[in-house]
């Protein structure tokens, strides 16, 4: 459905996307990466909005930059929350259908709203909708021409857990219908819950690809850094090394920063060990749970 071959995109001397190759099949695929990783730029190229500086892209077998028909078979849900707030949902989606010059845009809009579980007869202004409902209106607007490829830029951002679950279920429904649904996110947890194939992009490069379970495993394999504050850090450190619970450490009187390959085992053993050694434990804090460190790890592995 989508083939990306050695694609790079430069803006002056900024490398937004760097030598990315991948294929994307029908169903749901997540594009995971921190802000500035190149996700939107890749999406814009897939929609034919901007050409690659190098390499080739094929969507449904054609170049989206050259082939107008193919562009009509791609739906984009942009990140911006720019709706016409004074319109009702059906009015807003009707405008989208009319812009595609569709016959009977009102009927098309009602059908698209049905797909996203919104009532076309609801007269409420879109401006008064919740974030999750607005997001669904945007998806409905992108569905008016029944696209085979649906590209969604950060569609889960700002949704509460219930809205996120409903949205995720919708993506899978659209994927099960045979559509290629590409969803970007900078939130690891969001993607893990999406339960899909994952492409990880960092600093413009494809850092990892695989099933979301592979990604979890990969992350679990990496050393975790933990800061431990205790009344006698040196005594505790000696024992942690002897017991093989840590692979590296740095130490001052009260603070101990350790790397461990098994953060769960360390978590289970640390308090009983401290009691046994008569050491008072003040704090055990993970230092590298932020997403940036996960990406750094994935990128450095390459």
- By the criterion CB under 6 A, which residues form the site for ligand ADP? 11, 14, 16, 33, 35-41
Q: Compute the distance between CA of residue 117 and CA of residue 135 in angstroms, rounded to an integer.
A: 12
From the CB of 207, what's the least distance to ligand ADP, in Å?
A: 12
First to last CA, the chain: 27
- Tokens, residue 18: 């760097």
Strand order in the sheet with 205-211: 74-77, 149-152, 180-185, 27-32, 197-202, 205-211
In contact, 195 and 32? CB cutoff 8 Å = no
From the CB of 20, what's the least distance to ligand ADP, in Å?
A: 12
Between 82 and 101, name the residue whose CB sits nearer to ligand ADP.
82
Tokens 């190229």 — which residue? 45
Between 36 and 223, name the residue whose CB sits nearer to ligand ADP.
36
Between 19 and 148, name the residue whose CB sits nearer to ligand ADP.
19
Q: Compute the distance between CA of residue 278 and CA of residue 112 in angstroms, rounded to an integer.
A: 66
Between 6 and 119, name the residue whose CB sits nearer to ligand ADP.
6
User: 109-146: string of b/e by CB count within 10 Å (b at 16+)?
Assistant: bbbbbebbebebeeeebbeebeebbbbbbbbbbbbbbe
From the CB of 76, what's the least distance to ligand ADP, in Å?
A: 13
Between 11 and 282, name the residue whose CB sits nearer to ligand ADP.
11
Between 21 and 250, name the residue whose CB sits nearer to ligand ADP.
21
DSSP three-state, residue 44? helix
From the CB of 54, what's the least distance to ligand ADP, in Å?
A: 15
From the CB of 3, what's the least distance to ligand ADP, in Å?
A: 20
From the CB of 6, what's the least distance to ligand ADP, in Å?
A: 18
């Amino acid at each position: 459905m989508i083939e990306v071959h050695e694609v790079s995109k430069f803006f002056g001397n900024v490398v937004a996307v760097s030598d990315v190759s991948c294929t994307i099949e029908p169903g749901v695929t997540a594009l995971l990466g921190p802000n500035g990783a190149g996700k939107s730029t890749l999406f814009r190229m897939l929609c034919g909005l901007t050409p690659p500086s190098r390499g080739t892209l094929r969507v449904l077998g054609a170049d989206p930059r050259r082939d107008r028909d193919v562009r009509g078979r791609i739906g984009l849900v942009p990140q911006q929350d720019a709706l016409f707030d004074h319109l009702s949902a059906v009015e807003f989606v009707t405008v989208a259908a009319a812009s595609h010059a569709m016959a009977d845009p009102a009927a098309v809009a009602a059908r698209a709203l049905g797909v996203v579980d919104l009532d076309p007869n609801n007269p409420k202004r879109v401006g008064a909708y919740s974030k999750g409902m607005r997001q669904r209106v945007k998806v409905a607007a992108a569905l008016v021409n029944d696209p085979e490829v649906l590209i969604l830029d950060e569609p889960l951002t700002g949704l509460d857990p219930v809205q996120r679950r409903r949205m995720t279920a919708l993506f899978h429904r659209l994927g099960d219908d045979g559509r290629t649904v590409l969803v970007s996110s900078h939130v690891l947890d969001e993607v893990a819950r999406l339960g899909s194939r994952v492409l990880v992009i960092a600093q413009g490069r494809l850092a990892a690809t695989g099933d979301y379970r592979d990604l979890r495993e990969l992350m679990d394999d990496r050393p975790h850094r933990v800061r431990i504050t205790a009344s006698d850090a040196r005594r505790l450190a000696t024992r942690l090394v002897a017991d093989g619970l840590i692979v590296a450490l740095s130490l001052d009187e009260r603070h101990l920063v350790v790397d461990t390959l098994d953060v769960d085992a360390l978590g289970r053993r640390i308090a009983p060990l401290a009691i046994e050694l008569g050491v008072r434990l003040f704090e055990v804090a993970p230092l590298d749970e932020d997403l940036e460190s996960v990406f750094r790890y994935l990128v450095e592995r390459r």
